[in-house]
Amino acid sequence: MTRAPFILNVTRRLLDGIHIRQVPVPYRVAIGGEAIEVKESCIIVGRIEGYGFDTKATPINELGEVDGKVLDAIIGAETMEGWEIKLDPRNDTLDLDGLKRREFTEY
């Protein structure tokens, strides 16, 4: 099993009305210690603190809980890198400067 190529994992209940496609060849990944077979993906538009972004997403039945709160989405490293979203562990917040700036360089 390899590192998950997910951009975003999102629960199906949030994908009402979103066009979901079958992946060409299903693959297996581990999420939260559980192996799942990925058979579908979609493109979604989301918001973090009012700032919009779009990304590829993988529908998941459920993602579990953290600190007693049910998770509906997990943003992957590729989405965070692409939109320059950074973790600020000292303040327990997200640095959204790149997402706010809306200017990116493609290499």
Tens-of-pLDDT digits for all 107 residues of the chain? 444 555 678 899 989 899 999 999 999 887 777 788 899 999 998 889 999 999 999 998 888 888 899 988 888 888 888 888 999 999 989 999 888 987 767 66
Q: CA–CA separation, 14 vs 28, rounded Å? A: 22
- Cβ(35)–Cβ(1) under 8 Å? yes
Please report, for residues 10, 36, 91, the alpha-carbon distance to residue 56 in angstroms, rounded to integers and kept in the order given. Answer: 10, 18, 28
- Please give the model's pTM, rounded to 2 decimal places: 0.75
Say if strands 8-11 and 73-75 run parallel, antiparallel, or are unpaired: antiparallel
